Amino acid sequence: MSETLFIAQLNTEAELRALMVAALQGDGNAHHALLSKIALKLRAFFGRRLGRDAAEVEDLVQEVLIAVHTRRDTYDPSRPLTSWVYAIARYKLADCFRRNHRREMIQLEDDLELFSVDESEQYSARQDIDQMLAVLPDSQRQAIRLTRIDGLSTAEAAQRSGQSESLIKVNVHRGMKRLMALHAEVE
């Protein structure tokens, strides 16, 4: 699995988990957003396994969404949400195969595939990040990109950029503070 795909999956997990926690605390908008995002992933997941049977795919998506909704109180926020949803999806798919007398192997590693990001999402995310960072001075943009996006340590970022470690830390802090302030203005 590529590092970019792994990071995208971690971001998906963090986003979905935050939505689920907010939904569990009574946030209806978060609950709606959570189910919408899960539905998109489920349609692709079931579509790859069931082919062109759109009605069956949609039935399975709805079954999983109902299960997520009705069993949300069983979710443990300290555990990955994507694995919990994948387990529900896998059981619903197995039930579908049983109903239709089909025997198929379901790979256990597919939980990462369910929430994997396609190339268009990655491209779009890169464009969004580039657009956000464009408002920052070069030194702040470079420090954030090296440490927060590329995952380099402060020492590695300092070596690569020619800035001191202290300056990297300051530029990351100031840049993130500016981005958060801009984000707060938009909301």
- Domain ranges across the chain: 3-117, 120-186
Write the DSSP string, 105-131. ---TTHHHHHTPPPHHHHHHHHHHHHH
**Structural domain 120-186, CATH architecture:** Orthogonal Bundle (1.10)
pLDDT in tens, 24-50: 999 999 999 999 989 988 888 888 888
**Fold classified for 3-117:** Rna Polymerase Sigma Factor; Chain: A (1.10.1740)
pLDDT tens string 84-117: 888 898 888 888 878 776 555 555 455 555 555 5
| Backbone conformation region of residue 53, classed left if phi is above 0, alpha if psi is from -120 to 50, else beta | beta
CA distance 60 to 66: 10
d(CA 53, CA 20): 30
Q: Please, what is the angle between helix 165-186 and helix 119-133, to 10°?
A: 100
State the Cα–Cα distance between residues 116 and 138, nearest whole angstrom. 32
